């Protein structure tokens, strides 16, 4: 008799009744994971059964794994699982390539680990001297700057400066339609919470920044992907997705698309906005890589005039990920409600970071830093591209700017397999399917060229490719 039969047979007995009662309470969440079960004596009294019946019921539930005993303390509902587990909602992915795999590996990795899979620049590429100067200046700031909450919209002079900078990119927006946030991620999160009801459909690019998947799962949104081409989303598929899913939102990067490095073409931008207009779609244009561009590409927010496009920026990628400062530019009608939501969920923060960013924008050090950074990235892009090609790893396109190279592996090799081998060998890679809702990017890796300057990386890649090919070669031999 196996366990299952045992449980079945117990169903009609007193023991079975007690087990059922407990299972129902767990299912109804009146007993939650980690909760202590009623004492044996108390439950026996309540259910009018003997204590030995309860003991047997508890022991069987423990054997099933539904509850666990803590010696000397009693029984508890086991597996205190996350009620909202981002790794478990949505398409079943191997934990090693789920949407947060790359982030966690890269953020948790020691400094001796290479991180060509991460989405930020090495500390040594950041404007260290300017940041140190800014901190010394902050040390002499007014006491309110050092200790008070920020204003609801955020530091006014910085919003004025941002309005001017956006204007130069063709996005006309008054400072009171800009709300500062603590990061680009917080900006997108606030917008999703503000605009979406649970169950609303959202379109993303396939592939797209993996954190969009995680963030939208947290939002309980239904996510649909549209294949991304070198000039933007596939417009026919986009129109089809609009008709099929009736999405509320589309989240994208217009320029220096993550992970592909592609840039939206004006013709696709125009068609996209026309479709959005017809179907009442709202577009979130996440533009955190804007300052990496050599020549500004078309922006949806510029074409649309912030009517149905919401524009997001941040300084995490260009200045410091430690100085948290992002922003939202949106239509006047939305800013008030977004500000209430920011206060409710994060209160008035970010004052120090805003002061710091303002200093570096004003004194010219940000501009100088970005000029040097763009050149350095261009060189790294060319070098990394050549080295990868030598290994048979071929860029999908040659991006105009930015830090990302989206590359196809040779001979149908699985990127997740390469990523696992490389991790054991000291490098965090970003396997393609972490970015792909349809899981159609298993043959791709995203490389950060600024994190790919270490010679050893290419030795690691070569070993991983060789090991990954070997078993299949063996398999092919045995087929003969």
Of 2 and 197, the one with the shorter C-beta distance to a second copy is: 197
Rg (CA), the chain: 27
As a whole number of angstroms, the distance between CA 167 and CA 335 comes to 18
* Ordered strands of the 444-448 beta sheet: 394-395, 404-408, 444-448, 430-431
Of 148 and 398, the one with the shorter C-beta distance to a second copy is: 148
Question: Minimal distance in Å, beta carbon 98 to a second copy?
Answer: 9
As a whole number of angstroms, the distance between CA 5 and CA 457 comes to 54
User: Contact, 90 vs 213, CB < 8 A?
Assistant: yes
Of 173 and 464, the one with the shorter C-beta distance to a second copy is: 173
Question: Minimal distance in Å, beta carbon 410 to a second copy?
Answer: 32
Neighbours of 95 (CB within 10 A): 10
User: Contact, 392 vs 417, CB < 8 A?
Assistant: no
Question: Minimal distance in Å, beta carbon 137 to a second copy?
Answer: 9
As a whole number of angstroms, the distance between CA 67 and CA 180 comes to 47
Question: Minimal distance in Å, beta carbon 474 to a second copy?
Answer: 38
Question: Minimal distance in Å, beta carbon 378 to a second copy?
Answer: 21
Of 409 and 434, the one with the shorter C-beta distance to a second copy is: 434
Q: Which residue has the tokens 């004596």?
A: 41
329 closest CA partner among 185, 172, 161: 172
Distances (CA, A) of 14 to 19, 26, 54, 222: 9, 19, 9, 44
Question: Minimal distance in Å, beta carbon 283 to a second copy?
Answer: 12
Question: Minimal distance in Å, beta carbon 150 to a second copy?
Answer: 7
DSSP string, 232-290: EE-HHHHHHHHHHH--SEEEE-SSS-TTT-----HHHHHHHHHHHHHHT-EEEEE-TTG
Of 208 and 215, the one with the shorter C-beta distance to a second copy is: 215
Of 215 and 430, the one with the shorter C-beta distance to a second copy is: 215
H/E run at residue 430: strand 430-431
Question: Minimal distance in Å, beta carbon 214 to a second copy?
Answer: 4
Question: Minimal distance in Å, beta carbon 138 to a second copy?
Answer: 5
Of 343 and 390, the one with the shorter C-beta distance to a second copy is: 343
Of 351 and 387, the one with the shorter C-beta distance to a second copy is: 351
Distances (CA, A) of 157 to 75, 111, 122, 151: 59, 37, 29, 12
Of 262 and 323, the one with the shorter C-beta distance to a second copy is: 323
Q: At what angle do helices 455-479 and 365-390 cross, to 10 degrees?
A: 30
Residues 6+ apart with CB under 8 A from 395: 385, 388, 389, 405, 406, 407
285 closest CA partner among 366, 390, 173, 395: 173
């Amino acid at each position: 008799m196996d366990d299952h039969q045992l449980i079945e047979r117990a169903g009609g007995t007193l023991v079975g009744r007690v087990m059922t009662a407990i299972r129902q309470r767990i299912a109804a969440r009146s007993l939650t994971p980690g909760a202590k079960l009623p004492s044996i004596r108390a439950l026996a009294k309540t259910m009018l059964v003997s204590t030995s019946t309860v003991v047997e019921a508890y022991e069987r539930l423990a054997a099933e794994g539904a509850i666990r005993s803590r010696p000397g303390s009693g029984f508890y509902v086991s597996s205190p699982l996350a009620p909202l587990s981002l790794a478990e909602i949505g398409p079943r992915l191997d934990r090693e390539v789920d949407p947060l795999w790359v982030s966690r590996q890269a953020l948790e990795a020691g400094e001796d680990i290479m991180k060509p899979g991460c989405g930020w620049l090495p500390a040594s590429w950041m404007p260290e001297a300017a940041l140190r100067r800014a901190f010394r200046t902050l040390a002499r700031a007014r006491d309110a700057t050092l200790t008070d909450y920020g204003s609801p919209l955020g530091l006014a002079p910085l919003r004025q400066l941002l309005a001017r900078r956006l204007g130069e990119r063709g996005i006309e927006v008054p400072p009171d339609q800009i709300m500062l946030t603590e990061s680009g991620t917080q900006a997108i999160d606030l917008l999703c919470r503000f605009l979406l009801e649970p169950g609303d459909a959202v379109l993303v690019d396939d592939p797209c920044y993996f954190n969009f998947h995680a963030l939208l799962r947290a939002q309980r949104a239904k996510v649909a992907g549209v294949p991304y081409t070198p000039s933007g989303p596939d417009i026919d598929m986009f129109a089809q997705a609009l008709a099929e899913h009736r999405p509320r939102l589309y989240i994208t990067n217009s320029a220096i698309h993550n992970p592909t490095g592609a840039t939206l073409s004006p013709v696709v931008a125009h068609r996209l906005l026309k479709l959005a207009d017809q179907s009442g779609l709202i577009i979130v244009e996440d533009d955190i890589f804007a300052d990496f561009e050599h020549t500004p590409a078309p922006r949806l927010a510029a074409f649309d005039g912030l009517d149905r496009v919401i524009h997001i920026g941040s300084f995490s990628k260009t200045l410091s990920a430690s100085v948290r400062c992002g922003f939202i530019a949106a239509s006047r009608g939305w800013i008030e409600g977004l500000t209430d939501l920011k206060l409710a969920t994060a209160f008035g923060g970010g004052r120090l970071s805003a002061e710091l960013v303002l200093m570096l924008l004003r004194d010219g050090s940000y501009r100088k830093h970005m000029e040097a950074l763009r050149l350095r990235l261009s060189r790294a892009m060319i070098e990394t591209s050549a080295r990868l090609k030598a290994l048979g790893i071929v860029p999908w396109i040659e991006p105009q700017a930015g830090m990302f190279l989206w590359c196809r592996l040779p001979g149908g090799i699985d990127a997740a397999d390469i990523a696992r081998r490389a991790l054991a060998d000291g490098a965090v890679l970003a396997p393609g399917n972490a970015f792909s809702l349809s899981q159609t990017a298993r043959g791709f890796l995203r490389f950060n060229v600024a994190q790919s300057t270490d010679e050893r990386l290419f030795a690691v890649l070569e070993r991983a490719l060789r090991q990954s090919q070997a078993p299949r070669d063996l398999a092919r031999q045995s087929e003969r």
